[in-house]
Amino acid sequence: MKNLTKLVFALLIVQFLACSTEKKEDKNSAKTEKESKAQFVLNDATNSVQWTAYKTTEKVPVKGKFTQVNITSGGEGNSVKEAIHNAEFSIPISSIFTSDSSRDYKIRKFFFGVMENTKLLSGKLVIENDSLGYADITMNGITEKLPFSYLINDKKFSMATKMDVLNWNAKSSLDSLNLICKELHKGLDGISKTWAEVAINITSTF
């Protein structure tokens, strides 16, 4: 009986030490994982997607933005350029914002709503050199290359480009929006016009 008590006690000691070692290893693994995190992470950055569309023959600007950007792949690196290069993203159409709720509704329903697969815009950013890159943008079921120029200032990435929505077969969407906004898009010449050109400015501050 005495020997049995000693054996049980010894087994408890061994189990305790094994658990202690396991917890220590778990802590070390977590520490290693934390230390291996890249210095620049797009998901942790402040990302802004601003756009400018145009109406009337005089090309009056209409400014807006998307309030939500999701990084779906990549987006990490030891420099700003590394974090941007090959980053994939998606933008919910529901996050469109122009400071006019009526306008937001019309753009969602009568522009994007006419397209195929309109819940999200998606894309991939590719850096080509120290000032130029391109984005593979998927919209209306079509993926097209959109060239852009960019600057990196300290921890801030800024890119600018102009999109012609007709390259994504969006004429029906453009006509639909112009029809619902016919009176609002009339210029001094009495012609109602919605331009296919959209200027896009994106910034990421790490």
CATH 3.10.129.10 fits 40-205, yes or no: no
Count CA atoms within 13 Å of residue 178 on its CB side.
19
**Phi/psi of residue 41, nearest 5 degrees:** -130, 120
Pairing of strands 142-153, 132-139: antiparallel
Residue 147: its H or E element: strand 142-153
Q: From residue 60, how far is each of 5, 90, 112, 186, 188 by CA, in Å?
A: 90, 28, 21, 10, 11
Contact 56, 203 (CB under 8 A): no
Model pTM score: 0.80
pLDDT tens for each residue of 57-85? 999 999 999 999 999 999 999 999 999 99
* pLDDT of amino acid 37: 82
pLDDT (tens, 9 = 90+) of the chain, 206 residues, equals 444 444 444 444 444 444 444 444 454 444 444 444 899 999 999 999 999 999 999 999 999 999 999 999 999 999 999 999 999 999 999 999 999 999 999 999 999 999 998 899 999 999 999 999 999 999 999 999 999 999 999 999 999 999 999 999 999 999 999 999 999 999 999 999 999 999 999 999 99
